Structure formats: C-alpha cells, structure tokens
C-alpha cells in the first residue's frame, strides 16, 4: 500500500531512542563509568553490591543478585531449585524465546498454557490441568510491562507444592495489587538489556528472592558454583553482573519511576487518540500498574499496516511473530498449529508502536495520523 503522506511532511520516528535518555543523564553516567575505570575493579566491584541492595529495596525483596543477563537470571533460578532432566515447567507460549530457552537449557521440558486475549499473559484457569507429578515450576511472564494474574497462580502453586519464577524482564516497576513485580513468587527475574525500561550498556540481569538459602545458592551458581574460591560444591555458570553495568544502573534506578510514569502518559495519549479507530489498544487490568515497556496494538491487516508505517519512516516491530510452541527447535514437543489459538492469533495481529519516555507529542501525532491514513484507505 502506498503512502498518502507527502515526502515533505514525513518525519522519522524510532521505536526507541536510547540516545535521548543518555543525553539527559550524560554527566552522571560518564562519571559512574569513570569511577570504575579509575578503580579497575571490573568484576564484582563494590558497585555491584550497592546496586543489588538498592534493587532489592526497590522491588521489596530481601535479596537481589546481579547476574549477566535476564536469560541467565531464569536459568540460575531453575538450577537453584534443582530443576532439570525429567522435570516440567509450565509457562506462556507468547514471550521472548529466552523464557523457553532457559527451561530447555536447564534440561527440563516446557509445557505451554494459552494466554488471555486482553492482557496477553498466561491464563491461570488453564494451568492446573497441565500439572502432573513431573511439574516443578510455573514461569508466568509479565508481558509488555503488565503483571500476570498472580494470586490464582500462587494459589495453584501452593496447592501442588511447586515453585513460581516470575519472568519480570519487561516489567520492572510494574505492580499487581500494590505488590511489585518480581516480589511475589519464589524468584523474580529481571533483564537490563539496553532497550528495557531500566537498561544497561549491554547485557545484565537480576534474580530477586526472599529466601536466604536460595539467595546464597544463586551467589554461588553465578561464579561457577564456587565457595570459597577454587572449591566447587555445585556446578554453576559464569553469570556475574559487570561492575560497569552496575555503576550505570545505580544512576538509572533513581529515574525509573519517572520514566515509567512518562511511559504511562505516552501510552494514555495513544489510547485516547486511537479509541475510535478500528483496532485494539492495550487493555490495562484494573488491579495492575502497567509500565508499558511496549505499546502493542492489535489490528487485522497487521502486515499491511507495518508496510505503511515503514514507508512513512515510522519504526514498528512484531513481538512475537512465531509463538514459542511452534518454533522449529521445539518440534520435538509435538505441538501443532491450533493447539494454543489465542497465542497464535496474537502472533498474527499484534504490533508494537514507538514508545519511550522522551517521545514527543509531535512524533506520537504523526504515528496516530499515519495509522488513521492507513485505516481510511483500507476501509475504502
């Protein structure tokens, strides 16, 4: 479909622009990095422990252990619970592959439960029928920045004596009934990938928990399983958070609530301006505080809209074009198309629009008007 917008009126709208955030706090970030360079304490320097303490306080958990990525946060949580060969872990098929890859790399089998069409999070009422004697954990994913419905999930887990690992990679700062994401299960796992609401300068992650015993085990597992040095009672991985990342994240953590509030404001503006259009805007569940890591609409002619937006210099993305139960590397699980219909429909209809704290009203209006342009053409 060709664009009805003239070349002179086109502007460039990125999906996310990390440079704007950096420019706003450049002196703080540069100073923090310079402190690490001056100390040369690149591995587990004092800033790592400082950040862990600050993060635990922010998330209302007793412990927070800095690790090398959100993926490794999930893997280490699974390993600490001794989940592996022959075990099953229930999770959502509509998530980034790291959720599933962590289960598989721990040696366990992922078992998928379909999603709610409104929130895109796992459906709690379908979980229990998937539980058997091999089930060891549930990993609910707080997708796009909105918490899954945790109370029924926690109730089911308690009833069957299985663990809950929150995949909160997209949801730092989100709340469920006034409880912070990552604080409700046995573990909360976070990612500091640069584009996340709290992003580092590369990979990084965090494991949050309230158990002294499990926290101590995660500390060991992230350094190959060693304690004391050169003695290895358990087999771990090289999964530490770099000092430079911690130093930057300390500074950024002070802004996270402001940034999340700006994301909510930008999301509210999109939703208000597009409420009369023939598409579905994000549904915020009334007991949740959404942090809008992504702003995701749903539209029937999704792929044609993508073409139209990109023709008009607007970045957009599909998260996620293939639900995880249909990934080629998981074909051995023998899921087939039609098994999880809501996740499959979402994969064909959802589209992420540009959103970040610094996006301007002019940019948002351009996105909105370009979508209106598309819908007016497609309806004629």
Write out pLDDT tens, residues 105-114: 999 999 999 9
Q: Which class does domain 7-17+255-378 fall in?
A: alpha beta
d(C-alpha 139, C-alpha 124), whole Å: 11
29, two tokens: 């970030």
Identify the active-site residue in 136, 196, 266, 289: 196
Q: Is 252 labeled as catalytic in the residue annotation? A: no
Is the pLDDT at 7 greater than 70, yes or no?
Answer: no
Rg (CA), the chain: 21
What pLDDT digit, counting tens, does each position of 23-81 carry?
Answer: 999 999 999 999 999 999 999 999 999 999 999 999 999 999 999 999 999 999 999 99
Contact assessment for residue 93 and residue 325, using Cβ atoms and an 8 Å cutoff: yes
**What pLDDT shows up at residue 378?**
72
pLDDT of 6 > 80? The answer is no
Question: What pTM was estimated for this model as a whole?
Answer: 0.96
Residue 366, pLDDT score: 98
What's the topology of domain 22-253?
A: 3.40.640
8 confidence band (pLDDT: 50, 70, 90) = low
Reported as a single tens digit per residue, the pLDDT across 164-221 is 999 999 999 999 999 999 999 999 999 999 999 999 999 999 999 999 999 999 999 9
Given this model, what pLDDT does residue 83 score? 98
By C-alpha distance, which of 147, 91, 138 is closest to 115?
Answer: 91
Q: What's the confidence (pLDDT) of residue 29?
A: 98
Phi, psi of 84 (to 5 degrees): -165, -140
Same CATH topology for 7-17+255-378 and 22-253: the answer is no
Please enumerate in sequence order all residues whose Cβ is within 8 A of that of 293, keeping only pairs 6 or more positions apart, or say none: 144, 145, 170, 171, 196, 197, 263
CB-CB neighbours of 17 under 10 Å: 18
End-to-end CA distance of the chain: 13
Task: Write the DSSP string, 261-313.
Answer: HHHHHHHHHHHHHTTTSSSBPPP--TTEE---SSEEEE-TTHHHHHHHHHHTT
Task: Flag whether pLDDT at 1 surpasses 80.
Answer: no
pLDDT bucket at 122, cuts 50 / 70 / 90: very high
Q: How confident is the model at residue 9 (pLDDT cuts 50, 70, 90)?
A: confident
pLDDT digits (tens, 9 = 90+) for 232-287: 999 999 999 999 999 999 999 999 999 999 999 999 999 999 999 999 999 999 99
Query: Are the CB atoms for 265 and 248 separated by under 8 Å?
Result: no
By the 10 Å C-beta count (0-12 exposed, 13-18 middle, 19+ buried), 295 is classed as buried
Task: Answer whether residue 2 shows pLDDT above 90.
Answer: no
Position 377 scores a pLDDT of: 81
Q: 294-349 pLDDT, tens per residue?
A: 999 999 999 999 999 999 999 999 999 999 999 999 999 999 999 999 999 999 99
Give me the residue spans of the domains in the chain. 7-17+255-378, 22-253
Compute the distance between CA of residue 312 and CA of residue 12 in angstroms, rounded to an integer.
8
What's the confidence (pLDDT) of residue 90?
98
- What mean pLDDT do residues 128-133 have? 98
């Amino acid at each position: 479909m060709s664009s009805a917008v003239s070349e002179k009126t086109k502007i460039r709208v990125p999906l996310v622009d990390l440079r704007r955030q950096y420019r706003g706090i450049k002196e703080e970030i540069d100073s923090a990095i310079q402190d690490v360079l001056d100390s040369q304490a690149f591995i587990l320097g004092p800033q790592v422990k400082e950040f862990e303490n600050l993060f635990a306080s922010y998330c209302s958990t007793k412990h927070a252990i800095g690790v090398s990525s959100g993926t490794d946060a999930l893997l280490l949580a699974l390993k600490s619970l001794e989940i592996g060969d022959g075990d099953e872990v229930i999770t959502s098929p509509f998530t980034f592959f790291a959720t599933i890859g962590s289960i598989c790399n721990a040696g366990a089998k992922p078992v998928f439960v379909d999603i709610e069409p409104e929130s895109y999070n796992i459906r709690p009422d379908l979980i229990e029928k998937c539980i058997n004697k091999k089930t060891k954990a549930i990993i609910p994913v707080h997708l796009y920045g909105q918490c899954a419905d945790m109370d029924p999930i926690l109730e089911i887990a308690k009833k069957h004596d299985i663990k809950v690992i929150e995949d909160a990679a997209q949801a730092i700062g989100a709340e469920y009934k006034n409880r912070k994401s990552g604080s409700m299960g046995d573990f909360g796992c976070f990612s500091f990938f640069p584009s996340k609401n709290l992003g580092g300068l590369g990979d990084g992650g965090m494991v949050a928990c309230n158990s002294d015993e499990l926290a101590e085990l995660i500390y060991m597992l992230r350094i190959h399983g060693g304690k004391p040095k050169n003695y290895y009672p358990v087999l771990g991985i090289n999964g530490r958070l770099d000092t430079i990342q911690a130093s930057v994240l300390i500074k950024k953590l002070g802004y996270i609530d402001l940034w999340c509030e700006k994301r909510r404001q930008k999301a509210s503006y999109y939703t208000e301006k597009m409420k009369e259009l023939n598409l579905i805007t994000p549904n915020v569940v009334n007991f949740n505080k959404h942090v809008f890591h992504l702003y995701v609409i749903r539209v029937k002619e999704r792929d044609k809209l993508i073409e139209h937006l990109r023709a008009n210099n607007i970045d957009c993305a599909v998260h996620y074009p293939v639900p995880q139960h249909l990934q080629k590397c998981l074909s051995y699980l023998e899921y087939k198309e039609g098994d999880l219909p809501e996740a499959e429909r979402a994969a064909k209809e959802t589209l992420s629009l540009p959103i970040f704290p610094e996006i301007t009203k002019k940019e948002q209006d351009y996105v909105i008007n370009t979508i209106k342009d598309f819908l007016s053409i497609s309806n004629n």
